[in-house]
Structure 1
Amino acid sequence: MVSIRGPVGSLAHDDARTAVSELYSRHWAGLVRLAVLVVNDWPAAEDAVQEAFTDLYRHWPLRDNDKALGWLRTTVVNRCRSVLRRRRTAQLYTPPHEEPHDSAESTAVLGEDRLQVRRALQALPARSREVLVLRYYLDLPFDEIAQILGISPSTARATASRGLTALTQKLEEVR
């Protein structure tokens, strides 16, 4: 593979590669030990050091190339801090609560029970059905049910009582 580069790009690229390679061979092990002491995890430490060297290569030349080792140490420590922040965030995360899933058999039985209740409810007179749905499905107080249906609260109570009795009888017939 032939690469065509101008003299300036080639020199800068070669200088960066040479300088970073030399720093890498001399200081990689020490920087990894530094990172291990901070994050207490060898693979994460190696990643932090590798990313620091990659950043150094991208930023080469530095304003003062003699301070490259200090720049690397600072970058490694900052990368280690980021690793620790991500860990802390992961530890604090609480996944949303999931209800336990019912078995297929219990879901089928529950579905059948609900179907029986709906059929029995449909067999009731309209006023009884309305009162029971408003009371036990929407959990409304009798005063509000009375207002919605245009009846007195005592009529709503009596209708609910009679409706529950009729619903219970219809469900007992089915079972």
Structure 2
Amino acid sequence: MSRREPREREFTEFFGSHALGLRRTAYLVVRDWHLAEDLTQQAMAKLYAAWGRTRPDTRLAYARRIVVNECLSHLRRHRPESAVEAVPDLPSPSAGDHPLDLGAVLALLPARQRAIVALRFLDDLSVEEVGRLLGVADGTVKSQTSRALDTLRRHLPDLAEELR
């Protein structure tokens, strides 16, 4: 058996166990499932190249970091189109009959805040873990989380009321 076979088996098992969660995190950052899939695949290719230099106990954190960095780099290189308040050719909904649209409100957050929200609340990472993963201070994670939650509460008052 060659040295490559156990490596490929380990990587295949890791990918099978974690790819969907990593893709979900990528989606929350980039807001596009197909792009999230592509960026997750790119991140996994980078992880595979570095596989021999990673430790089993830190691989998931390293994979998350690669995925988030891929997403943020992509968004820096390809600025999203600016959103408008309402599509001009559709009637505006009345104030009382709009459903809660968390996805639309998440799109209002800057990419780094979306990444922090995804890592903190979707992946259930601590402030310290998110700070290490993104290479920022714990205080930055806390302030960006606070700003993101303020934005969510402001744009989703119905959701804020339900959470009380």
TM class by shorter chain equals 0.3 to 0.5
* Higher Cα Rg, which structure: 1
> TM-score, normalization: structure 2?
0.46
> TM-score, normalization: structure 1?
0.43
